[in-house]
Amino acid sequence: MDIVIHSALVTVSFLGVVSEDLIPMPSRMTSQHAYEVRPRKDQRGVDLISDALPFGRLWYDGSNAISNAIGYAKFRSRSPDDVIRVYDETGNVIETHDHTGEFKEW
């Protein structure tokens, strides 16, 4: 059994046939996450929603709910491609926060 390694693709040949499919290697592995701050349907604050959060969403209430949700999303962000969008009750984006160096770097 021959094992041939091509750019993170392992091709195993049992009968002398080797696949020449190559997987291009990105220069850096990145994962973009989108954080959404949306008003709750029950009018009790906002939800911070993202696939990067352990439980999918967090509920914020009170006078600083939106700014607290944005602050937490900036704190959790680890990718320079992450984006935070704030939506109004009708689903329109009213605010966008892109990574410009102010997000937390690890």
Residues 13 and 17: their CA atoms lie apart, in Å, by: 5
pTM value surpassing 0.85: no
pLDDT digits (tens, 9 = 90+) for 38-83: 999 999 999 999 988 888 899 999 999 999 999 999 888 877 788 9
Half-sphere exposure of 7 (CA within 13 A, CB side): 9
Q: In this structure, what is the dihedral angle of CA atoms 58, 41, 84, 91, given to the nearest 10 degrees?
A: 160
Q: Which of 12-21, 83-92, 97-106 has the highest mean pLDDT?
A: 83-92
Higher per-residue confidence, 48 vs 8 = 48
Q: Which residues contact 71 (CB under 8 A, 6 or more apart)?
A: none
pLDDT, position 30: 52
Edge-first strand order for the sheet with 34-39 is 57-60, 46-49, 34-39, 83-87, 93-98
Q: What is the pLDDT of residue 56?
A: 84
φ and ψ of 76, to 5 deg: -75, -20
pLDDT tens track for 23-35: 444 444 556 789 9
